């Protein structure tokens, strides 16, 4: 359905370009489509058709289209650097940064050198913040007014700036030193009478963020307030930008992408277009850690050679214990990271959550351990399979089934605790809890489960 709709848009837009109309009429018709659809059209056009579209729409409109384009490096490379610089400097600073980041270093430096000083300064004001700070996500697309303005003056300024700033749902009120006073919703300004005191429609206690705050720390408040935009202040309480709902959505998507990458054992989220060596660098560190843990797991098996030689039947049920331990550990990991990521949870509540995971693991282990005990015992009885000797023995069968059942109970309890406590430990030593990845927890729990499983076999069959 979506592909068919896009195809229809392509055909309609291309047809408009070929119609015997004036450039102004073509522009008006084309701009009835969303910028994202026009951006998709760029890939479908021949170079001369693309140049014609650029000429018809003009730099300001093409800047909006490029904000949605995917193959920006190719688009910039197909035109003169001066023309590309004119288009990019017409963008909001945050969109211009996104476009520039898609270019190689040589292209980027050339384009920036050709941009107007004001556009360079706007970009510098955002790029001076680290990528994990909320200031790196802000935009200069907003309208501000002085707190000394009248309603009439404020409305006149909004109308004058609306053509260049489409983020008009909130009007930011500042004093002569650019310090934030509050926010006026556009609706309140529109319905206010000309003799209304402006201060009566200003929301003074409006949520804001410091530019140096971490994105991950701001997301819970953004989720709670669910506003169209939020003012961003520097340490002097001066308004330096805003973050819109679109920026918030992008920030959440990026945070989720990073967390998924860490849970997969990657140091950073991968770009599908990056080279092999870059991907290797991101995957290799955790793989080395997991290799070491895997070797520890393998070496730990050498201590149980006598058990395996004397009780080969119990090896068949090893994977059952390891898999279940890994599964419950991963569940506890996910729940704990979710709790830690919520700033509403205090340390005491997180501790209670860890203990709760331990209880949940114990109860689940008790149920599944009992079931596995029954199934293994039934299997040994039906097959008349001996455990320690070749002949079937009820005592040995009970011990063999008991090893599986008790090991499952113990391993699931311990794995639930490990899955919950490891992220808390990581948080305590100032490491992102998300790096306590699924593979990491699973390997730790595999080692633990092996020691429990074969250690129990040694005790019950006195093979120490």
pLDDT, average across residues 381-403: 84
39-53, 217-231, 263-277, 322-336, range with the lowest pLDDT: 263-277
Task: Report how far residue 233's alpha carbon sits from residue 180's, in angstroms, rounded to the nearest whole number.
Answer: 8
42 burial via Cβ count (<10 Å: 0-12, 13-18, 19+): buried
Quote the DSSP letter at residue 269: P
Task: Report how far residue 9's alpha carbon sits from residue 16's, in angstroms, rounded to the nearest whole number.
Answer: 11
**Pairing status of strand 143-146 against strand 170-174:** parallel
Give tens-digit pLDDT for 295-352. Answer: 887 777 777 778 888 788 888 888 888 888 888 888 887 777 777 665 445 566 777 8
| Cβ neighbours for 61, distance < 8 A, ≥ 6 positions apart | 27, 31
Average pLDDT of the chain to the nearest whole number: 81
Q: Is the pLDDT of residue 426 over 70?
A: yes
The pLDDT, as a whole number, for residue 259 is 54
Task: Report how far residue 364's alpha carbon sits from residue 343's, in angstroms, rounded to the nearest whole number.
Answer: 29
Q: Are 387 and 313 in contact (CB under 8 A)?
A: yes
Q: Are 264 and 438 in contact (CB under 8 A)?
A: yes
Residue ranges and CATH numbers for the domains of the chain are 2-132 (1.25.60.10), 143-263 (3.10.580.10), 276-460 (1.10.357.20)
Give tens-digit pLDDT for 138-191. Answer: 888 888 999 899 989 988 888 888 777 777 888 999 999 999 999 999 889 889
| Cβ neighbours for 169, distance < 8 A, ≥ 6 positions apart | 185, 186, 228, 229
Task: Report how far residue 203's alpha carbon sits from residue 41's, in angstroms, rounded to the nearest whole number.
Answer: 43
User: Buried (b) or exposed (e) across 231-252, using 16+ Cβ within 10 A?
Assistant: bbbbeeeebbbbbbeebbeebe
Q: Tokens 């021949």 correspond to what residue?
A: 46
Give tens-digit pLDDT for 272-289. Answer: 555 567 666 666 776 777
Instruction: Detail the DSSP E strand segments found in 204-291.
Output: 209-210, 229-233, 239-244
Q: Is the pLDDT of residue 401 over 80?
A: yes
Task: Report how far residue 241's alpha carbon sits from residue 297's, in angstroms, rounded to the nearest whole number.
Answer: 52
SS3 (DSSP) at 362: helix
For the record, the structure tokens of 260 come out as 């998924």
| 200-214, 239-253, 334-348, range with greatest mean pLDDT | 200-214
Q: Is the pLDDT of residue 374 over 90?
A: yes
Dihedral class, residue 462 (left if φ above 0, else alpha if ψ from -120 to 50, else beta)? left
SS3 (DSSP) at 172: strand
Quote the DSSP letter at residue 232: E
The pLDDT, as a whole number, for residue 435 is 56
Q: Is the pLDDT of residue 270 over 50?
A: no
The pLDDT, as a whole number, for residue 208 is 92
Better pLDDT: 226 or 238: 238
The CA-atom distances, in angstroms, between 154 and each of 186, 207, 233 are: 10, 22, 22
The pLDDT, as a whole number, for residue 260 is 47
126-130, 403-407, 418-422, range with the lowest pLDDT: 418-422
Better pLDDT: 248 or 433: 248
pLDDT, average across residues 37-43: 83
pLDDT, average across residues 211-225: 83
Percent of the chain with pLDDT over 70: 86
For the record, the structure tokens of 23 come out as 């450039």
The dihedrals phi and psi of 65, each to the nearest 5 degrees, come to: -65, -45
Give tens-digit pLDDT for 63-101. Answer: 888 888 888 888 888 888 899 899 998 888 888 888 888
Return the half-sphere exposure (C-beta side, CA atoms, 13 A cut-off) of residue 372: 26
The pLDDT, as a whole number, for residue 166 is 73
The pLDDT, as a whole number, for residue 33 is 87
């Amino acid at each position: 359905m979506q592909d068919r709709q896009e195809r229809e848009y392509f055909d309609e837009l291309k047809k408009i370009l070929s119609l015997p109309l004036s450039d102004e009429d073509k522009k008006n018709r084309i701009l009835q489509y969303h910028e994202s659809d026009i951006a998709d059209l760029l890939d479908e056009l021949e170079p001369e058709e693309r140049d014609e579209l650029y000429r018809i729409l003009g730099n300001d409109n093409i800047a909006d289209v490029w904000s949605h384009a995917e193959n920006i490096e190719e688009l910039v490379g197909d035109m003169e650097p001066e023309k590309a610089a004119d288009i990019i400097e017409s963008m909001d600073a945050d969109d211009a940064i996104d476009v520039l980041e898609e270019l190689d270093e040589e292209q980027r430096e050339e384009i920036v050198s050709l941009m107007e000083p004001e556009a360079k300064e706007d970009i510098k004001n955002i790029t001076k913040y680290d990528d994990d700070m909320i200031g790196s996500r802000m935009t200069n697309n907003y309208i501000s007014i002085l707190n000394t303005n009248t309603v009439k003056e404020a409305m006149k300024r909004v109308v004058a700036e609306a053509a260049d700033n489409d983020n008009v749902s909130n009007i930011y009120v500042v004093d002569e030193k650019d310090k934030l006073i509050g926010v006026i919703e556009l609706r309140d300004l529109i319905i206010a009478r000309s003799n209304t005191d402006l201060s009566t429609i200003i929301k003074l206690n409006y949520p804001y963020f410091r530019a140096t705050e971490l994105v991950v720390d701001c997301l819970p408040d953004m989720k709670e307030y669910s506003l169209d935009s939020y003012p961003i202040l520097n340490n002097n309480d001066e308004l330096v930008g805003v973050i819109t709902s679109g920026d918030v959505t992008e920030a959440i998507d990026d945070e989720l992408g990073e967390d998924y990458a860490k849970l997969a054992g990657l140091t950073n989220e991968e770009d599908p277009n990056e080279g092999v060596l870059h991907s290797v660098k991101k995957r290799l560190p955790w793989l080395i850690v997991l290799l070491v843990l895997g070797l520890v797991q393998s070496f730990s098996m050498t201590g149980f050679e006598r058990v395996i030689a004397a009780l080969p039947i119990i090896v068949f049920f090893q994977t059952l214990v390891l898999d279940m331990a890994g599964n419950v550990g991963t569940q506890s990991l996910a729940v704990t990271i979710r709790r830690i990521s919520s700033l509403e949870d205090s340390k005491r509540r997180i501790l209670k959550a860890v203990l709760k995971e331990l209880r949940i693991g114990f109860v689940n282990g008790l149920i599944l351990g009992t079931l596995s005990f029954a199934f293994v015992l039934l299997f040994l009885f039906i097959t008349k399979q001996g455990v320690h000797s070749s002949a079937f023995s009820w005592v040995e069968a009970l011990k063999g089934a008991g090893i599986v059942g008790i090991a499952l109970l113990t391993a699931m309890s311990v794995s639930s605790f490990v899955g919950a406590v490891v992220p808390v430990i990581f948080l305590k030593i100032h490491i992102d809890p998300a790096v306590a990845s699924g593979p990491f927890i699973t390997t730790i729990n595999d080692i633990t489960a092996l020691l429990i499983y074969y250690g129990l076999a040694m005790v019950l069959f006195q093979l120490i």
